[in-house]
């Protein structure tokens, strides 16, 4: 299945939409696809046969979608993303095709439990966190909205590591997601694309015009693997195309022929390393050569693919902006900009200005961070060695751009230095965010506050220069996966209340608002929560041997482990509650019982983050077993938090922890998933929390902490964390307890780095926000004791969060950035 130019294929029909039709297809797949009889089939055989059966139902839609899009000559979105965190595919395909009941019944007639087969699927963890999951939500929405989109990315052989705990400390295991078969992918080696690296450039005379050509030193092949992106019950299936690196034939033949067999095999491994492993997001971005290879590899393949395989053969590239918008998901794919220029100028022999005019209309850039250390730069030395022609092109783009700036601001040398795409210190390097901003038609942040700070703090000169280039699109999440699929009980309740339309029109949740005042509805809503908690409990018992206490508030903090997200603030709260209980200050029976659930992976090289994971687990080990606590506090930290676990954890939550330091979290998307599933948020005025609070209302959101401008004032005044330690007794006691070794069998050294960091550095103002956080948690306790009031707030959180559908985000992108259109049935 591929988007090549051939159309007019014979119609492909889907298997029958009936229990008998399904059973027939399933057994056929088991026998002829897996080569086993039902009696001898393992769970994995059955899962693979089921997956292949379900994808057959999608196949006709896929081909039809491509035909329609081709015939319509519609503008496509090419979403360029180094990460996609898709989650499991089976259930999503089932809800998209409305096959769940048929499949459940059909399998049951064969004595098979659908739930058992679901569990067989290993999710493709081809991303780190929010950025990758957002990409997956966006492609889901575009398919559901019938908007042509190809998601382009990398088929990592090893995705995000599998996290285990050994004595409470994180240990990483390789993620072998492909090892038991990959039934959702369609490899197309016949559409492989060569990608070149290294070498040098030379100029030559082309009929009186001086031109440049790149003479590369080595190359690899990009093999496309297609994945279906089914729209929700709309007959559409878009494509996600992930690239895998292979050695080129030319490359091996040369060496094999020279008799160097072992070297040839080694060369193959070298080429295939490019798509071998996902880079974990780290505390400091490393200028890793392999990472730049990955970035260029996938964008070079993607642009070539679009131009040569998706567009019609006689297509005039001057019209490219009418047919494509390349959306740059952060700076990872920004090398696509000089690549398109290289194709137009060197290969198609266009004038520079002509090429630049087209290129500038084909790209838009989304920034996903505010941390200066997370902004990518590539040393000129490395870029020049790996992609010499691209470096020349970047220089030329920069020269032309700075000449323009100089004209507008004559004599303003400092401004030129600030705005240069090339940084001179600490080493000469290319600022990828600047390149993206100069080249992109639009630049957007991912929440209102983030977009404002992006304009004012990260790219102030650029937003002054091009005020209209900057825009905001607040992130969203797909209601298909994060409500309909993850929370069937709530979905049923919502459908009873407002009808089924909400799944693709989430603002309809508003119609539930009056039901917050209906006691019977609140009762049903609580039953849904209780059911979801039971479901979580069963999963955690099966998965990790964890048992949750009954009738406790479930307080959840799940997200990547990073200091700016402040998991330590949560730990300090738990430790201080514990300390107050054991010192007799707090009666444990006077507060609602709480389960503190964490889920977080730390980048393998990020020492402090791994320490914090160790601390959480060690605090849990002490608190959970101390009889004086009387079960009032329980800490659970199931390992390997991923999309699959999120789907069971989030629907069970009562309280959502969104406690980053104001001005640091670009948006957050977990915050939206919790609100949509009826958890109340305790959060700072940061990222999309700001918009959540505005929508759900202050009375239904626990706000605490410094506001962003206050953070700046505190820092400017010379922040001294030790002052808070000295002045706040509760805080001091909590920190002292950690420092005493109470959570490390009396060893004071184990958590000393965390303690000393908090007392002497505390870059993210944990101590400054502690008191405010504790007070907000007291408000949470009081509110939770009012069961009816809490339920009312929870219902209003659901009813007022329709804005956070990724469908809305996609309409905003279409409106403000892409100007693409749905392709409607003809």
Q: Does 130 bind ligand 26V (CB under 6 A)?
A: yes
Comparing CB distances to ligand 26V, the nearer of 462 and 764 is 764
Peptide bond into 426 cis (omega under 30): yes
CB of 427 to ligand 26V, least distance (A): 18
* 8 Å CB contact between 386 and 293: yes
Q: CA 594 to CA 781: how far, in whole Å? A: 9
Is 349 a residue of the active site?
A: no
Residue facing ligand 26V at closest CB distance:
130
Q: Give the binding range for ligand 26V (CB under 6 A) out of 69-77, 126-134, 190-198, 570-578.
A: 126-134
Is 442 a residue of the active site?
A: no
Comparing CB distances to ligand 26V, the nearer of 130 and 620 is 130
Q: Does 666 bind ligand 26V (CB under 6 A)?
A: yes
SS (H, E, C) 763-783: CCCHHHHHHHHHHHHHHHHHH
Q: Does 369 bind ligand 26V (CB under 6 A)?
A: yes
* 8 Å CB contact between 354 and 362: no
Task: Show contacts with ligand 26V in window 431-460 (CB under 6 A).
Answer: 446
- % helix, strand, coil for the chain, step of 5: 55, 15, 30
CB of 433 to ligand 26V, least distance (A): 11
Comparing CB distances to ligand 26V, the nearer of 257 and 284 is 284
Q: Give the binding range for ligand 26V (CB under 6 A) out of 22-30, 106-114, 282-290, 814-822.
A: 282-290
Q: Does 131 bind ligand 26V (CB under 6 A)?
A: yes
Q: Does 667 bind ligand 26V (CB under 6 A)?
A: yes
CB of 670 to ligand 26V, least distance (A): 8
Q: Give the binding range for ligand 26V (CB under 6 A) out of 206-214, 364-372, 436-444, 646-654.
A: 364-372
Name the token pair of 760.
Answer: 């002497």
Q: Does 657 bind ligand 26V (CB under 6 A)?
A: no
Number of residues that bind ligand 26V (CB under 6 A): 24
Q: Give the binding range for ligand 26V (CB under 6 A) out of 149-157, 221-229, 368-376, 792-800.
A: 368-376
User: What burial letters (b/e) apply to 752-771, b meaning 16+ CB within 10 Å?
Assistant: eebbebbbeebebbbbbbbb
With CB under 6 A as the contact rule, the residue among 121, 175, 252, 281 that binds ligand 26V is: 281
DSSP 478-546: -HIIIIIIT-HHHHHHHHHHH-GGGGG-GGGGGGGGGGGG-HHHHHHHHHHHHHHHHHHHHHHHHHH--
Q: CA 426 to CA 413: how far, in whole Å? A: 19
Name the token pair of 679.
Answer: 């958890």
Half-sphere exposure for 196 (CA within 13 Å, toward CB): 18
User: What burial letters (b/e) apply to 228-241, b meaning 16+ CB within 10 Å?
Assistant: bbbbbebbbbbbbb
With CB under 6 A as the contact rule, the residue among 87, 125, 663, 668 that binds ligand 26V is: 668
Q: Does 129 bind ligand 26V (CB under 6 A)?
A: yes
* Residue 245 three-state SS: strand
CA-to-CA dists, residue 16 to 13, 19, 425, angstroms: 9, 8, 64
Catalytic one among 241, 560, 566, 792?
A: 560
End-to-end CA separation in angstroms for the chain: 22
The contacts found for 393-398 with CB under 8 angstroms, 24 or more apart, are 393/338, 393/341, 393/342, 393/345, 394/338, 394/421, 394/422, 394/430, 394/435, 395/422, 396/352, 397/337, 397/338, 397/341, 397/356, 397/421, 397/435, 397/438, 397/439, 398/422, 398/438
* 8 Å CB contact between 310 and 3: yes
In sequence order, what are the beta bridge partners of 277? 158
Is 669 a residue of the active site?
A: yes
Comparing CB distances to ligand 26V, the nearer of 559 and 800 is 559
CB of 730 to ligand 26V, least distance (A): 30
Task: Show contacts with ligand 26V in window 613-642 (CB under 6 A).
Answer: none
Q: Does 321 bind ligand 26V (CB under 6 A)?
A: no
Catalytic one among 68, 162, 368, 618?
A: 368
CB of 565 to ligand 26V, least distance (A): 8
Catalytic one among 559, 566, 570, 610?
A: 559
Catalytic one among 565, 593, 594, 618?
A: 565
With CB under 6 A as the contact rule, the residue among 49, 112, 134, 581 that binds ligand 26V is: 134
Q: State whether the Cα torsion 694-695-699-701 is positive or negative.
A: negative
Site map for ligand 26V, 14-53, x if CB under 6 A? ----------------------------------------
Residue 675: which residues within 8 A CB-CB, separation 6 or more?
656, 681, 692, 696, 797, 798, 801, 804
CB of 343 to ligand 26V, least distance (A): 28
Comparing CB distances to ligand 26V, the nearer of 130 and 230 is 130
Name the token pair of 770.
Answer: 């502690």
Comparing CB distances to ligand 26V, the nearer of 240 and 446 is 446
Comparing CB distances to ligand 26V, the nearer of 384 and 668 is 668
Closest-CA residue to 708 (of 659, 774, 773, 664)? 664
With CB under 6 A as the contact rule, the residue among 475, 532, 576, 684 that binds ligand 26V is: 475
Q: Give the binding range for ligand 26V (CB under 6 A) out of 371-379, 490-498, 585-593, 749-757.
A: 371-379
Q: What is the radius of gyration, based on Cα positions, of the chain?
A: 27
* 8 Å CB contact between 21 and 31: no
Residue 462: which residues within 8 A CB-CB, separation 6 or more?
419, 434, 437, 438, 443, 469, 470
Q: Does 810 bind ligand 26V (CB under 6 A)?
A: no
Q: Does 479 bind ligand 26V (CB under 6 A)?
A: no
Site map for ligand 26V, 558-577, x if CB under 6 A? ----x---------------
Phi-psi label, residue 330: left if phi above 0, alpha if psi -120 to 50, beta otherwise? left
CB of 437 to ligand 26V, least distance (A): 16
Q: Does 55 bind ligand 26V (CB under 6 A)?
A: no
Comparing CB distances to ligand 26V, the nearer of 128 and 537 is 128
With CB under 6 A as the contact rule, the residue among 373, 468, 520, 698 that binds ligand 26V is: 373
Comparing CB distances to ligand 26V, the nearer of 61 and 368 is 368
Q: CA 574 to CA 417: how far, in whole Å? A: 48
Residue 263: which residues within 8 A CB-CB, separation 6 or more?
255
CB of 160 to ligand 26V, least distance (A): 12
Q: Does 665 bind ligand 26V (CB under 6 A)?
A: yes
Comparing CB distances to ligand 26V, the nearer of 282 and 511 is 282
Q: Is 412 exposed, middle or buried (0-12, 13-18, 19+ CB in 10 A)?
A: middle
Cβ count near 78 (within 10 Å): 26
Q: Does 153 bind ligand 26V (CB under 6 A)?
A: no
* 8 Å CB contact between 816 and 471: yes
Catalytic one among 97, 669, 681, 791?
A: 669
Q: Give the binding range for ligand 26V (CB under 6 A) out of 46-54, 167-175, 279-287, 528-536.
A: 279-287
With CB under 6 A as the contact rule, the residue among 687, 705, 721, 802 that binds ligand 26V is: 687
Name the token pair of 463.
Answer: 């937003």
Is 17 a residue of the active site?
A: no
With CB under 6 A as the contact rule, the residue among 94, 374, 574, 662 that binds ligand 26V is: 374
CB of 181 to ligand 26V, least distance (A): 30
CB of 817 to ligand 26V, least distance (A): 15
With CB under 6 A as the contact rule, the residue among 305, 330, 647, 807 that binds ligand 26V is: 330
Pairing between strand 218-230 and 193-197?
Answer: antiparallel
- Mind telling me the catalytic residues? 368, 559-560, 565, 669, 673
| Residues of the shown chain interacting with ligand 26V in the complex, contacts defined by CB under 6 A | 129-131, 134, 281-285, 330, 368-369, 371, 373-374, 446, 475, 562, 665-669, 687
């Amino acid at each position: 299945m591929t988007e090549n130019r051939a159309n007019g294929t014979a119609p492909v029909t889907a298997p029958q939409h009936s229990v008998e039709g399904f059973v027939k297809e399933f057994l056929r797949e088991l026998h002829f696809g897996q080569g086993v009889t039902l009696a001898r089939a393992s769970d994995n055989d059955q899962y693979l046969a089921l997956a292949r059966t379900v994808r057959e139902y999608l196949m006709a839609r896929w081909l039809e979608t491509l035909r329609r899009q081709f015939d319509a000559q519609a503008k496509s979105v090419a979403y360029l993303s180094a990460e996609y965190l898709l989650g499991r595919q089976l259930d999503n395909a089932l809800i998209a095709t409305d096959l769940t009941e048929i499949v459940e019944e059909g399998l049951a007639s064969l004595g098979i439990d659908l739930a058992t087969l679901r569990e067989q699927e290993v999710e493709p963890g081809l991303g780190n966190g929010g950025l990758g999951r957002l990409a997956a939500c966006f492609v889901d929405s575009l398919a559901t909205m019938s908007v042509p989109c190809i998601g382009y990315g990398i088929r990592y052989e090893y995705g995000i590591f599998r996290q285990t705990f050994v004595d409470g400390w994180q240990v990483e295991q390789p993620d072998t997601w492909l090892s038991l078969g990959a039934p959702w992918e369609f490899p197309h080696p016949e559409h492989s694309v060569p990608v070149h690296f290294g070498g040098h450039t030379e100029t030559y005379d082309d009929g009186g015009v001086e031109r440049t050509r790149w003479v590369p030193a080595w190359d690899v092949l990009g093999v496309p693997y297609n994945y279906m992106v089914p729209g929700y019950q709309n007959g559409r299936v878009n494509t996600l195309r992930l690239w895998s690196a292979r050695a080129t034939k030319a490359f091996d033949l040369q060496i094999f022929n020279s008799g160097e067999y072992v070297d040839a095999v080694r060369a193959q491994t070298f080429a295939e390393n490019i798509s071998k492993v996902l880079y974990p997001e780290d505390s400091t971005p490393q200028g890793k050569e392999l990472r730049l290879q990955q970035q260029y590899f996938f964008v070079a393949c993607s642009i070539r693919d679009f131009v040569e395989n998706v567009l019609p053969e006689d297509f005039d590239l001057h019209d490219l902006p009418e047919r494509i918008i390349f959306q740059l998901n952060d700076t990872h794919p920004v090398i696509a900009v000089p690549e398109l220029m290289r194709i137009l100028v060197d290969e198609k022999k266009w004038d520079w200005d002509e090429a630049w005019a087209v290129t500038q209309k084909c790209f838009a850039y989304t920034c996903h961070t505010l941390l200066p250390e997370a902004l990518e730069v590539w040393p000129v030395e490395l870029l020049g060695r790996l992609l010499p022609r691209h470096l020349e092109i970047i220089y030329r783009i920069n020269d032309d751009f700075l000449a323009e700036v100089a004209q507008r601001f004559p004599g303003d040398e400092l401004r030129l230095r600030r705005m240069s795409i090339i940084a001179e210190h600490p080493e000469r390097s290319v600022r990828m965010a600047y390149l993206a901003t100069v080249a992109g038609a639009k630049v957007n942040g991912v929440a209102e506050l983030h977009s404002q700070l992006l304009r004012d703090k990260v790219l102030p000169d650029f937003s002054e220069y091009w005020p209209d280039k900057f825009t905001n699109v607040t992130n969203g999440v797909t209601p298909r996966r994060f409500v309909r699929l993850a929370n069937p009980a709530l979905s049923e309740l919502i459908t009873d209340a407002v009808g089924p339309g909400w799944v693709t029109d989430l603002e309809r949740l508003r119609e539930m608002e009056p039901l917050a005042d209906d006691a019977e509805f609140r009762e049903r809503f609580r039953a849904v929560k209780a059911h979801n908690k039971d479901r979580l409990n069963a999963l955690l018992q099966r998965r990790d041997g964890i048992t949750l206490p009954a009738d406790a508030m479930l307080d959840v903090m799940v997200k990547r482990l990073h200091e700016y997200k402040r998991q330590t603030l949560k730990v300090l709260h738990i430790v201080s509650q514990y300390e107050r209980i054991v010192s007799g200050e707090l009666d444990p029976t006077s507060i609602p019982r709480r389960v503190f659930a964490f889920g977080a992976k730390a980048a393998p090289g990020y020492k402090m983050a791994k320490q914090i994971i160790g601390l959480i687990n060690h605090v849990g080990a002490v608190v959970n077993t101390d009889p004086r606590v009387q079960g009032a506090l329980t800490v659970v930290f199931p390992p390997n938090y991923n999309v699959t676990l999120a789907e069971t954890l989030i629907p069970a939550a009562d309280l959502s922890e969104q406690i980053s330091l104001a001005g640091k979290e670009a948006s957050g998307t977990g915050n939206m998933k919790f609100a949509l599933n009826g958890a109340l948020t305790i959060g700072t005025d940061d990222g999309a929390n700001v918009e959540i609070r505005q929508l759900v209302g202050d009375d239904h959101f626990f706000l605490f902490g410094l506001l962003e401008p206050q953070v700046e004032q505190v820092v400017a005044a010379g922040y001294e964390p030790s002052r808070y330690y000295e002045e706040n007794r509760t805080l001091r006691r909590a920190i002292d307890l950690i420092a005493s070794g109470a959570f490390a069998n009396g060893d004071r050294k184990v958590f000393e780095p965390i303690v000393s960091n908090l007392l002497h550095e505390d870059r993210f103002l944990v101590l400054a926000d502690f008191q405010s956080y504790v007070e907000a948690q007291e408000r949470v306790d009081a509110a939770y004791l009012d069961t009816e009031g809490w339920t009312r707030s929870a219902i209003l959180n659901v009813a007022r969060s329709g804005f956070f559908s990724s469908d809305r985000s996609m309409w905003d992108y279409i409106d403000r950035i892409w100007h693409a259109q749905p392709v409607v049935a003809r």
